[in-house]
Structure 1
Amino acid sequence: MTSDWPRVQLHVVTGKGGTGKSTVAAALALGLASHGNNVLLCEVEGRQGVARMFDVDPLPYAETRIATGLRWSEDGGHHPPGSVYALHIDAEQALLEYLRMYYKLGPAGRALDRFGVVEFATTVAPGVRDVLLTGKVFEAVQRNSRNRGARQYDAVVLDAPPTGRITSFLNVSESVAGLAKVGPIKHQADTMMTLFRSPRTAVHLVTLLEEMPVQETADGIAELHAARLPVGGVIINQVRPRDLPDDALEAARTGRLDAATVADDLKRAGIEGGNGFVDTLLEEAKEYAERRALEDRQREALAHLAVPTYELERLAAGVDMGGLYELAADLKEQGLA
């Protein structure tokens, strides 16, 4: 089984709030960390969501090993898993590291922090903040001699800001255009764009089969294309199992299920319902069928976007470590990881 994205080193995961993009990013990192690959999972929103998902202490500004990758066997062979490392990227710490690496400002950089210069730079100029956050991700993908002894990764997964902000977040060259026409910040932004716009990057969008997330996904893809940023796949999250065949769904939706037949079936199964029990079941079946019809329409809308799609079933018991590995295996089987 091969990946749909063999050339991609940076997987950016975005999505409307509430669609589960952080969960998908974590599962993708576990899936990519099979076959001995080491993967870095980065977060930039300051929520420490990765630490909570993997049940570890809050992450420092340091690459920390948090999990063993997905164990995956194919063709009868055994392939030892790699490791997932995580990094909580903080703009202020990223600026200090930037000053240390590029300007050799060690103690002097910390002195700037004490005087509030770092906070000024990252608050007054939001474009600079995005350059610093994405700059650390860029450095993790594009490791060079400036960061001696740093760990090399086979892939980097970025748990990115929501869909509505992803284009401006990645399009850092445009973000700093009004701040710096020349100089190191402009040069850094332009250099990062060579990676973000290359086949080595893919921006994956997470959605639910609901109207607003699907519309935001469509808008996000259009914005990414306009900014010449590479669109990856669409991950449809929390898909409900299809418990009824199409003809039964249509009968339930249109109110054509026969109450007497349902009552007889229940009786044969040993279930005795009281007054109104069958009517309640029929009403719930109708609501379920209407929901499935809505989901089918949204799935058709996603198909028109001409983007590869992947589906993850809703985990009835919620998402724990076992659930993350289950989702990782699903992504691997479908070719995303």
Structure 2
Amino acid sequence: MAEPTEPDWSRVRLHIVTGKGGTGKSTVAAALALGLASHGQQVLLCEVEGRQGIARMFDVDPLPYAERRIATGLRHDGRAPGVVHALHIDAESALLEYLAMYYKLGRAGRALDRFGVIEFATTIAPGVRDVLLTGKVFEAVQRNSRNKSATRYDAVVLDAPPTGRITQFLNVNDELAGLAKVGPIKGQADTVMTLFRSPRTAVHLVTVLEEMPVQETADAIAELEAAGLPVGAVVVNQVRPRDLSSADLEAARSGRLDFVAIEADLVEAGIDPDDGLVDGLLQEASDHAVRRALEDQQRELVGGLGRPTYELPRLPSGIDLGALYELAGDLKAQGLA
């Protein structure tokens, strides 16, 4: 049987990153943007959930509804790296821009905002809200020579809603079915879907090696495929170091580690092995081995999802800008960025 070919992500212009809450999808999206910028590219990192997560990760001021340069990419082959810009998209600002573009409501649109009409519209009709958010992402991807004053991006990375809502968020045509059958909003939804269902888009899913996130990832893949949306890679985040052999892990799980040898090693290291120390270490080893066995089971399930898979390590010191560059290097080395 022929070996599977490595996926070619170079044709993808829009990388959508989703995952169950707590899996680190925002971190992966930021690292992916930095990795893509290592090719000398102009990259836009977008967020749509209103949490200002990008600003916190990159240690910059809260982002307005405007594109801001926030970082440079990794260096690659001695070439100058590209640049990462960021955009915080909120539905109210997107609606004001939409009204100005399609209905020429400049000051009038801002007046509506003061009266709370925009908040009402985007709350009462969440399908419209998603069209506005995705429409702004579409505009950033589709820029061409006619957008003379705007930056043209080689890639756009979207930190998207979590897996439980991702298909609903992206499948804006279905969401609008009972709200708008004709008109500019429907036309914009149709146009956005041409991009979302094309080979220029990939929806990447972030998980950790735990039962619920892996199952939610599998469910999201099935829903995305049923909706005709292009599933990309699965990124397994926060992977623990694999620095113990299978034999040692099995011995730890079964209680067969050598008590005397461990005690002797502690003495040699200048540590007094008091009554409870070795027993505590043996229990820790057993717990770790059990955890590793559960992770290995989940890794097998991820491997059965039929998607390209990439792994990122758990970073004990937490996530700061240096950690993002480290993860970006991992994604680049593995071929996703």
Which interval holds the TM-score relative to the shorter structure?
Answer: over 0.9
Match of 1:271 in 2: 271
- For the residues of structure 2 that align with 1:16 and 1:279, how far apart are their CA atoms? 37
Match of 1:299 in 2: 299
Aligned partner of 1:65 in structure 2 is: 69
Shift of 1:333: 0.4
Structure 2 residue identity aligned to 1:57: D
Contact 1:14 1:21 in 2 (8 A): yes
Q: Distance in 1 between matches of 2:105 and 2:148?
A: 16
Contact in 2 for aligned 1:167/1:227 (Cα 8 Å): yes
What is the CA distance between 1:34 and its match in structure 2? 1.2
Gaps of 5+ in 1: none
SS at match of 1:296: helix
Aligned equivalents of 2:307, 2:39: Cα separation in 1: 27
The residue that corresponds to 2:35 in the other structure is: 31
Query: Aligned pair in 2 of structure 1 residues 51, 110: CA closer, same or farther (>3 Å)?
Result: same
Equivalent residue in structure 2 for 1:11, among 9, 15, 18? 15
2:44 to 37, 40, 45: 40
- Aligned residues with identical type, % of pairs: 77
- Match of residue 186 from structure 2: 186
Residues 237 and 133 of structure 1, relative CA distance in 2, 3 Å threshold: same
Equivalences for residues 13-162 of structure 1 within 5 A: 13-73=17-77, 78-144=78-144, 147-162=147-162
Cα offset for 1:270? Answer: 3.4
Matching residue of 2:335: 335
Matching residue of 1:210: 210
Q: Which residue type is aligned with residue 135 of structure 1?
A: G
- Is the CA contact 1:101–1:147 (under 8 Å) kept in the aligned structure 2? no
Cα distance in 2, alignment partners of residues 181 and 47 from structure 1: 32
Q: Partner of 1:325 in structure 2?
A: 325
What is the CA–CA distance in structure 2 between the aligned matches of 1:150 and 1:109, rounded to whole Å?
23
Matched, 1:241 2:241: yes
Distance 2:105 2:7 in 1: 42
Q: Letter of the aligned partner of 2:122 in structure 1?
A: T
- C-alpha distance in structure 1 between counterparts of 2:261 and 2:149, whole Å: 72
Considering only aligned residues, what root-mean-square deviation do their CA atoms show, in Å? 1.4
Unmatched runs of 5 consecutive residues or more in structure 2: 1-5
Q: Which residue of 2 aligns with 1:230?
A: 230
Partner residue in 1 for 2:3:
none
Aligned length: 332
Separation of aligned partners in 2, 1:62 and 1:187: 24
Quick check: 2:72–2:84 contact (8 Å CA) kept in 1?
A: yes
TM-score, normalised via structure 2 length: 0.95
The normalised TM-score by structure 1 is 0.95
Conservation of the 8 A alpha-carbon contact between 1:167 and 1:224: yes
Residue in structure 2 matched with residue 283 of structure 1 by the alignment = 283
Letter in 2 for 1:284: E
Determine if contact 2:90/2:133 at 8 Å carries over to the other structure.
yes
Task: Tell me the distance in 2 between the aligned counterparts of 1:254 and 1:123.
Answer: 56
**1:160-181: per-residue Cα shift (whole Å, max 9, x none)?**
0000000000000111011011
Counterpart Cα distance in 2 of 1:242 and 1:268 = 25
- AA of the residue aligned to 1:107: R
| Alpha-carbon distance between aligned partners in 2 of 1:7 and 1:147, rounded to the nearest angstrom | 22
Report the CA distance between 1:215 and its aligned residue. Answer: 0.6
Deviation at 1:272, TM superposition (A): 2.6
